[in-house]
Structure 1
Amino acid sequence: MAAAKSFTPLTWPDLTSRPRPTPDATVSYGPDRMQKVDVWLPKRTVKRPVVLMVHGGCWQTSIADRKLMDWIAADLRADGIAVWNIDYRGVDRDGGGYPGTFTDAAQAADQLAVDAKKYNLDLTRVVAVGHSAGGHLALWLAGRSKLPKTSPLRTAKPLKIAHVISLGGLPDLEATAASPDNGCGTEVIAKLVGTGRTDPYTDTSIPRLLPIGVPQDLINGREDRIIPYRMATNYIAKASKAGDKVILHTIPDTGHVELIAPETLAWGETKRLIRAALSESGKQ
């Protein structure tokens, strides 16, 4: 009998030690150095479909910023898809946490509509893609119209997102806070949702906003040791019960880093889903 094939996951240095591609432009939406968006533009001259990209890093600037997504952003650019790669102040930075991390993400997303004409971006074809903690923020951005009327996070005209793809995300903050094995720890959640509030999850955790009314794909590695697999399956059950169209894609021989490495099976599946979602949104 042949020996079972062992799986060796990619490490962060396996990704970040590669030659780094560069964006075509950087946009500021505030005075802080983290209040930036990198814009990746394909050569095509027709209106460009857009991926709104959100990095992870446990909602902490000291762990990751938008540059972690450079390699997949460049891969999409080469494939004819523009990328709006946002940054935001993490909970470990002045002005981050609640509400700053959320308002930053919202302002960065809404800036896309402001600059769409300048960069020839097609606002009818916007797909949000978030990795890890960024998966939570990507889903939150798509569900902003469902925020309680009393929430300070509400905005008048949130960017319309046609589809969300979460890569090893953490959509359910209540479940994350109750799970010490979540890869980010539990203390960070308290900083993210705010302390001293009667119900800190009402406008921050995606299950509280369901149904968000936007198709969702969750891509998770079966060998992910950072984000427990149940974070995806438990959320899928809640979202489906609420009436949202949500599909879980389980990728074998895949950890957490593989989800944003352009040569992997996981990223190949993500690109397939991005193309399908952009094509579908273009028909509406």
Structure 2
Amino acid sequence: MCAVNATLDDRVTTAPPRRHAAPPRVRERAGRRGGTLAAGVLLGAAVVLALLVAGMLAPHVPVLGLAGVTASAYLAWALLGAAVVTVLAAILLMRRGGVVRVAATTLGLAALAGSVVVGWQQLSVAREHRVAVDVGGLFALTGSRAEPDASAAYGEHEGRPLGLSLWEPAGSGAGAAPVVVLLHGGGWTSQDRLERTTTAHATWFAEQGYLAISVDYPLSDDEHHLWEVAEPQVACALSWVQDNAARHGGDPGRVFLVGASAGGNLALDVAYRAAAGDLDPACGSAPPVVAAVSTLYPVASPAAFAAGADPLLGGAARDTAIAYTGGTPEGVPERYAAVTPAEHVTDAAPPTLVVAGAADHLVPPAGAVDLAATLEDAGVSHELVVLPAAGHRFDAAPGGVGTQVWRELTLRWFDLHGRAPTTP
């Protein structure tokens, strides 16, 4: 009996002390603090999303519009974020009211509704042109970018070599492939042939069965105004393509030009001048005839570009235009005319596709509209697509609606205008 009692005593004395639960009032205060913090975070996210969506809906508002059109390239993420914020804020609101929670829910709903409106506008353009948008691709943050299969120097400028890089066509055993030559943007003063977006496009074209070639050209600066040099050098690169494409699986009889921004300006000028017979390459033989050209937000009107109306980007536009031409449109009007694509349009100009952003704060889309009118008057096959709520470099989003629309329309354009083999 004593042993039993001793054992029980041991159990009592060695049992761990009980932890006292926090009083209900303390737990309630902690829960309120956590809920208030979560509501504050959601309100901050809702404010940011609402401002971005407001910029998408009112893209020409200074500063706000620029942020909005930049975000519109990744619209799917904005829509998803607005939906998540709205749902979480609504859950908190149902558990307990409060001004912060009501504001977060309301702003989240507004951002969600605005995102749907902008998405509907952009998808309407895709539907109008019968482009089936890959919904999963809309959420892509990085595109496919393969290293080039080869690189070479095609010429030189002031003793420095000018290079190009090649991505050979997938399935190249099926015969000679069409060739697409890509010209990067950068305001004629920056970037190079391996710029991220250009490389992604080149990789994609190679996956579609093209020999893709990205080309460097001489860049201007405050002391070197190369408006007379860049185009003959691009023509020199085309001459290299004509002489060497076959060695890399390409057909020199089917050459297409692609350019973005300042590269779009060069692509249009070179294609039109070569067709008119007034462009002598800086090296090699006469360049091949360009079958068709496709451009993204091209500087179709260098004078309007130099006007630089945007309060944030206008100064950069003026600086690059002056670096390229050596002056303002008022000071050297003949130079601006010389690099304006519409000035070189003839009825021999190649078929032209232009895709521009309606809310481009850097390159006014009005220049593309005027170019389309000039092409119409000349009887040149052309198509202009203006994407709503899209800004400059909308194709930086690898799977954005604008990127998908431009790529699909470019494939169709090239198929329609010369992609078919030149020989049976």
Q: Structure 2-normalised TM-score?
A: 0.57
- 1:230 is displaced (CA, Å) by 1.4
Sequence identity, in percent?
A: 25
Q: Check the 8 A contact 1:60/1:91 in 2, yes or no.
A: yes
The total of aligned residue pairs comes to 277
- Contact 1:101/1:192, CA 8 A, preserved across alignment: no
Q: Which moved more, 1:136-145 or 1:256-265?
A: 256-265
* Secondary structure at the counterpart of residue 155 of structure 2: coil
SS in 2 for 1:27: strand
- State how 1:41-120 maps to structure 2 within 5 Å: 41-44=168-171, 45=173, 46-61=175-190, 64-68=191-195, 69-92=198-221, 97-120=226-249
**Which residue of 1 is the match for residue 148 of structure 2?**
23
Q: CA deviation at 1:19?
A: 8.0
Superposed displacement of residue 79, structure 1: 2.1
The answer to whether the Cα contact below 8 Å between 1:40 and 1:84 also exists between their aligned partners in 2 is yes
Give the whole-Å Cα distance in 2 for the aligned partners of 1:17 and 1:277: 26
Mapping of residues 85-234 of structure 1, within 5 Å: 85-92=214-221, 97-145=226-274, 157-181=286-310, 184-193=316-325, 199-211=334-346, 213-234=349-370
The 1-side partners of 2:411 and 2:161 are apart by 29
Larger mean CA deviation between 158-167 and 24-33 belongs to 24-33
More deviation, 167-176/258-267: 258-267
Q: Distance in 1 between matches of 2:155 and 2:225?
A: 13
**Alpha-carbon distance change, 30 to 5 in structure 1, aligned in 2, over 3 angstroms:** closer
Query: Using the alignment, how far apart are the partners of 1:180 and 1:4 within structure 2?
Result: 22
Alignment equivalent of 2:164, drawn from 33, 37, 56: 37
Whether the aligned pair in 1 keeps the contact of 2:233 and 2:282 (CA below 8 Å) is no
Please give the per-residue CA displacement for 1:151-191, whole angstroms capped at 9, x wherever unaligned. Answer: 77688622211111110011222333345448552343344
Contact 2:154/2:240, CA 8 A, preserved across alignment? yes
Flag structure 2 segments of 5+ consecutive residues without an equivalent: 1-49, 57-67, 75-139
Residue 242 (structure 1) aligns with = 378
Contact persistence 2:256–2:293 (CA under 8 A): yes
Equivalent residue letter for 2:320: V
Seen in structure 2, the aligned counterparts of structure 1 residues 16 and 189 have a Cα distance that, compared at 3 Å, is farther
| Conservation of the 8 A alpha-carbon contact between 1:89 and 1:95 | no
Of stretches 121-130 and 46-55 in structure 1, the one that deviates more from structure 2 is 121-130
Task: State the 1:128 CA deviation.
Answer: 1.0
Q: CA deviation at 1:202?
A: 4.9
Q: Matches of 1:194 and 1:91 in 2, distance apart?
A: 9
The alpha carbon displacement at 1:264 in A equals: 1.9
Structure 2 letter corresponding to 1:254: A
Question: Highest Rg: 1 or 2?
Answer: 2
TM-score of the superposition, structure 1-length normalised?
0.82
More moved, 162-171 vs 207-216: 207-216
Which deviates more, 119-128 or 197-206? 197-206
Q: Say which is worse superposed, 186-195 or 108-117, in terms of deviation.
A: 186-195
Q: Could you tell me which residue of structure 1 aligns to residue 409 of structure 2? A: 273
